[in-house]
Structure 1
Amino acid sequence: MLHFPSPVGDGAVGMAGEGQRKAFQYGLRPPLLRLSNRDNWDASWGEQELIQRMAALAHTAGLPFSRTLIVAYYVSLKTNPFVVLTGIEGAGKTELATLFAETLLGHGSPQYALINGDSSWLGATGDQRSFRSLFDHFTSLRFLELLQEAADPGSAGKVFVVCFDGMHPAEVNYYFTTLLSVDEEGRTRLRLPGVSEDERPIVPANVSITATVNTAEGVGVLSADVLRRAGVIAFRARRSTQVFWHPPTPAPVGLQRLWLRAGRRDAAAAREHLFQIIGSTQWNRMGCSEPLAVALRRAGMALTPRLRQDVMLYVANSFDAEGRGLFDPDDVLRNTQIAFDHQVAQRLIWRLHDVPDPMLTYLMSDPDRLPPLAWAG
């Protein structure tokens, strides 16, 4: 049985949340935060620069990802530590997860685990049940070992990134609903055999998890639990460009701590930050852009209070500590609208694939109308 130290992630998140609220008042260089982190924080870096670094590394690697896609994935991970990327093989899903890891951690970091979920070998073994047991055991151990390191008190300022690559829907359901669970207080725990619910180790807040699903390789759907807990981004086209990964320059000092401070996953803190930027009145008036709203009405779908809270968290995370938008740094309301549509699409679009609506088909195929599908640019 692996031993997990008492996680430091929850405490770090609480302190980070306080720092974020002060950062909004004092700007990019809050005096107390500057004093406490003077040895490990490069104050010239913020989230805008982090995203620019991702875009530059993508260009160097030959990845034709638009800035919109990069920001959508980035904000999804800020909002939720679990993100699922779906699409046909070769669409660039794994490359996007690797790009994020290389941006924060540098090239070849042991803090990035790429766990191959490709079960194409399964049919060649002649014993599917035996192979499945071995496969689950091996990948789960790799995952647990990384989580154990992330939970160590000495890793409080480190980021750990996991990508379960080439998964089938059933495999994603296993990891996200069988191995992982969310308790009533919103903490993510591991369901280890023989361990009581209260003693299940908490997944540290410094771990970000991405699963890529090759939708053309299998049947089945993601479970409702997965879709409620994870951000979902669908890749609509195949990437034909060859990727050239070059060892990037070392990540700037303090970039990992910047990422750990950036995320707002507490509803109250997120609401406070968002209302400081756009005000409660403007937020209460906000809804889907008209083309997306029309498609949802035709499908008989509405924004429930729970969904609107999920959208609020995402929109709040689409702004940096200074209140500048990550999708649009110069237009607060436009950034809000883009982020609003992104999250609604992520939460609902998977339920609309079979709706015979010409408007919906248009929205899903036009990158300018539905921002989460704006891959090329």
Structure 2
Amino acid sequence: MSLPAVLTNIFNHKQRSYKMILILALLHEMNESGQREIGLQNIKSRFLFLLRDRESRGLPVDPPINQAMSWNDITTNQLSSTIATPIQALDKILALNDEQQTLGFRENLYNSWDSNVLTKLYDLASQELERYHMRQTTDFSLRNALHSLMSRYLTAKSEPLKNNSLGNYVRNQIPTGVRGFSFIEENPNLKVLASVGMGVWATIPWIAIMDRRITESTQSGEYIVYLFSEDMSTVYLTLAQGVTDANKNGRVVGHRYLRQKVQEIRNLLPLDGLRKDEDISLTSGGLGRDYQVSTVAYYKYERDNLPSEETLLQDLENLVINYNQYVDLALNSIPEQEQQPVLNLTTQERLIEVKTYITQKGFAYPDLIIENFYLSLKSKPFVILAGVSGTGKTKLVKLFAEALGATSENGQFALIPVRPDWSDPSDLIGYKDLNQHFRPGPLTEVILEAIKPANQQKPYFICLDEMNLARVEHYFSDVLSLLESQARQDERIVTDAMIRKSSLIHEPDLQKFGNLPIPDNVYLIGTVNMDETTHPFSKKVLDRANTIEFNYIQLDQYPAGSTGIASAQPAPNAFLRSAYLQLVDAYDSTYKSLIEETTNQLVSINNILESIHSHVGFRIRDTICFYLIYNEQAELMTREEAFDFQLLQKILPRIQGSNSSFRQVLIQLLQITLGNVKKLDMSKLDEDASELWRNANKTVEGATYPRSSRKIVFMLRRLDEDGFTSYWLS
């Protein structure tokens, strides 16, 4: 016989060991007296006896109250406030008679139980007591963790972040320790993350606890988070909201939304003991203000006066109880038909699922290719995969889409082979027949499905296979222009209409196609081979796409073999959808330094590119910044690795020519990509760069941006040997 439902979860939220001790004391007294109600004084005596007995036998026990050295120094009269808390917490099953000063199980419950119920309850309380003490004997201390971070952080910021001991401690050991607390471990939906920055140290480090069912990151939704002030004098334990998504339409609108949400949540929850104001001081920048208006409630701790471990754990458990209550209310408020049957995974977790799926299908791709492909799509929903035939470009698109639940069977993946005779958009978008009826092309047919309300949260992938068999600018120019017209409309991102209303004559066509944009759940990927049968790309196309190259082939790379049945995990469109359309959307204190550092690097590169009229504009600057921001948010690769991919994909494809100016540009760019590992003698390389490309591996060894360095060396070799150079193999 199992326990009644009312008893099964009574120890899920523990107040130290006192709930279990109270139940054991009550059951002992009931067994000896045969009575349902027991005198409160007898329960206090038994309660104290059980604690003293454990202490005398050397078993783990909670510290004595009132700063006493031993439970033998405590009297029963001093226990009133100690047992009042668990009595109140168990009021659903216990009844306290204030007049008679007795305590017992509620009569209606007790009369419905047989003797086996009390025996099983005794066993449950004993087991939970031992589990509790087992967890308390771990080496992890929340107080020590907070104090260590606050004491060491400012010094650590003067050191490199990569492989830093404090950084590793915060990212790995602190989350592991916090996950071990019983009131967090018992909820499988809770996850713990911590960050000190990505690439550079964060101004405000954080430790977050979030429920996977309502948020996957600190950018949106509600979660618990420790926020550390910039000067490390104070840490705030807060119930907070993500500010990134809220501020996507500007801070004025975002702050209005956040304040309204704060009041709604405060009205829903008890939040006993927490402060409910905006008196949070983290930093003087814009992000500090964001945190003020987005915080629902908080505890404030000073570094030089941190509370005891017991108080810190009690505060955290109280906030977790409030948070769990909020999550239950939030989930219950969502109509069942609107709940998406998808796993709430972090970006890292979902990409691991994608790579596992691809591996189980028997395919392997170079390191970071999947992460790069994801970031490229999220930065701009148009990506080009280039390279020699047979390197798996089309297969990558198909497998990536399948891993996210998008298949040709459910209509979320479409392969559109490009024909050499395509010369205008009609083959892709559609045309009017002899009766002036509009006949949709393959792109339009996919968009008609993707824009339906029931499908707006699903990603749709369109693969334009052999995209440059025809001139891309001829048949794809309308789509390229449309992508530049993206704007926010209510909760979505859409473009201008694909088909002009004035060109539609019949009313059914006007209704169906007249206001049809490219929605934010459609992703366009082109595969291209660069050889004598294909057409080159113009800068207009290259400006609007990340170009991922597949040319470094390892024929001795064998399939890992299937490790099981490959299963796809449907992903929501939020996984890929862009959060930013303009740089101003992201230009706050969180990413301001990243944007400015990246822009300064691009200014230096532009000064070099201007001599061959290949310098970049705002569009490329913004896309590169977005790529780096999304990378930092998901913590997929280092900042150097991310910028390396962007140099390779957004800058180098623009360079092609034959005169000495191009040699100078490539050598100067190579010096930037090599970093400080090697100083190039420009005068020696004016006529001949063979010293560099004959020893390519040695040249790029230790480079800051090795992928770009290797590509530039190849381009220099081609210039020396052919008198002409280009990014593309042919």
The answer to whether the aligner puts 1:311 opposite 2:624 as a matched pair is yes
Deviations 1:309-333 (A, max 9, x none): 222222122234xxx4122xxxxxx
Instruction: State the distance in 2 between where 1:214 and 1:136 align.
Output: 23
CA RMSD of aligned residues (A): 4.6
The Cα of 1:185 is off from its aligned counterpart by: 5.4
- With normalisation by structure 2, the TM-score equals 0.38
Determine if the alignment matches structure 1 residue 98 to structure 2 residue 402: no
User: Residues 350 and 134 of structure 1: is their aligned pair in 2 closer, same or farther, counting only changes over 3 Å?
Assistant: closer
Deviation (angstroms), 1:161? 0.8
**Structure 2: 5+ residue stretches without partners:** 1-214, 224-239, 243-322, 432-438, 488-493, 505-512, 674-692, 712-730
Which stretches in structure 1 are left out of the alignment for 5+ residues? 1-15, 123-127, 328-333
> Among 248, 253, 260, which residue is 2:566 paired with?
248
TM-score (norm. length: structure 1): 0.69
User: What corresponds to 2:519 in structure 1?
Assistant: 204
Cα offset, 1:238, TM superposition: 4.5
Whether 1:338 aligns to 2:641 is yes
Are the equivalent residues in 1 in contact too, given 2:386–2:530 (CA < 8 A)?
yes
**Contact conserved, 1:104 with 1:251, CA < 8 A, in 2?**
yes
Matched, 1:221 2:528: no
Residues in 2 aligned to 1:339 and 1:166: alpha-carbon distance in whole angstroms: 27
Residues 222 and 241, structure 2, Cα contact 8 Å, conserved in 1: yes
**Partner of 2:632: helix, strand, or coil?**
coil
- Opposite residue 621 of structure 2, the aligned amino acid is R
Is the Cα contact below 8 Å between 2:430 and 2:440 reproduced in 1? yes
Residue 206 (structure 1) shift: 0.8
Q: What amino acid does structure 1 have at the position aligned with 2:566?
A: P
> Where do 1:1-377 residues align within 5 Å?
20-22=219-221, 35=331, 39-40=339-340, 44-105=344-405, 108-110=408-410, 111-117=412-418, 119=419, 141-168=441-468, 170-179=470-479, 181-182=481-482, 184=485, 186=487, 187-189=494-496, 191-192=498-499, 195=502, 199-238=514-553, 240=555, 248-252=566-570, 255-260=571-576, 263-267=578-582, 270-272=585-587, 275-276=589-590, 279-286=591-598, 287-288=600-601, 304-320=617-633, 324-327=634-637, 334-335=638-639, 337-354=640-657, 355-356=662-663, 357=666, 369-371=705-707
Change (3 A) 1:216 1:105: same
- Any conservation in 2 of the 1:69–1:372 contact (CA below 8 Å)? no
Task: Determine which structure has greater relative contact order: mean sequence separation of CA pairs < 8 Å that are 6+ residues apart, divided by chain length.
Answer: 1
Structure 2 distance, partners of 1:221, 1:52, is 35
- Deviations, residues 265-304 of structure 1 (Å, cap 9, x unaligned): 32357515x742xx52354234549x98998699686565
**Structure 1: distance between partners of 2:395 and 2:503:** 38
1:85 Cα shift? Answer: 1.3
The change in CA–CA distance for 1:224 and 1:353 in structure 2 (over 3 A counts) is closer
Matches of 1:318 and 1:169, distance apart in 2: 33
Where 1:208 maps in the other structure, the secondary structure is: strand
Deviates more, 1:89-98 or 1:230-239: 230-239
User: Aligned partners of 1:134 and 1:297: how far apart in 2?
Assistant: 37
Q: For residue 100 of structure 1, report the CA deviation from its aligned partner.
A: 1.6
Q: Secondary structure of 1:105's partner?
A: coil
Structure 1 residue 52, shift from structure 2 partner: 0.7
- Local SS of the residue matching 1:319: helix
Shift in Å at residue 184 of structure 1?
Answer: 4.8
Report how many aligned residue pairs link the two structures: 332
> Aligned pair in 2 of structure 1 residues 344, 97: CA closer, same or farther (>3 Å)?
same
